[in-house]
Amino acid sequence: MQTAEVVVIDYGVGNLLSVRRGLERCGAQVTITADHQAILAAPRVVLPGVGAFADAMAELRSRNLIDVLKELPARGTPLLGICLGMQILLDESEEFGMSSGLGLIQGRVTPIDRTTLTGEPHKIPHIGWNGLIYGEMTEDWHGTILQQLTPGNEVYFVHSYSAHPVDPQTRLADCIYNGRVISAVIRSGKVYGCQFHPEKSADFGLALYRNFLSWKP
């Protein structure tokens, strides 16, 4: 079996070591870089991220990476954003005031509601294991990075803000946090976003990585 090559973007915001280890456990040859040509030449790209939306965009901007990332869909390069890396794929975020994102998937990032569906306060950030369900307009995961995986499996979340794509068909998978629906996996063409951390989500998360590494859209 041929080793899958993947570039993980290093822009000073992200848990690079754990992402690398997770991908390598799935047989990937991982390059961590901010080099423009290496990113554009990559067969697939991962955009990790932790922290604040505006800070992440500022780091990308300081490295002149925004136009590079925007070019990937036109090249047909599969791109996977993880956690904050998923959120910055969208148009904008309300975190600490309005900030512009990459605009690769139409939508906005907003705070998770601070109450349950019945109006009771609950913990923010949303931290811990939560089971996935199909998105509202999704009937199956065939042909996606979730193919051959099963709803109900639990994955690990750490976040205070949630992505809201404009097109509901973009939402491949959601989870329910005390009655509140949260986007867990989103997709537009070959651009994917994953709100949870696959490398911290046991066998399900590693299976998602394997699908991404072998995925041929």
Q: Select which of 126, 159, 164, 197 is catalytic.
A: 197
pTM value is: 0.95
Q: Select which of 26, 59, 83, 175 is catalytic.
A: 83
Q: Has 175 been annotated as catalytic?
A: no
Q: Has 95 been annotated as catalytic?
A: no
Q: Has 197 been annotated as catalytic?
A: yes
Those residues with Cβ within 8 angstroms of residue 17's Cβ, 6 or more apart along the chain or in another chain? none
Those residues with Cβ within 8 angstroms of residue 147's Cβ, 6 or more apart along the chain or in another chain? 141, 211
Mean pLDDT of the chain: 94
pLDDT digits (tens, 9 = 90+) for 42-100: 999 999 999 999 999 999 999 999 999 999 999 999 999 999 999 999 999 999 899 99
Residue 87, by phi and psi: left (phi above 0), alpha (psi -120 to 50) or beta?
Answer: alpha
> Does the pLDDT of residue 115 top 70, yes or no?
yes
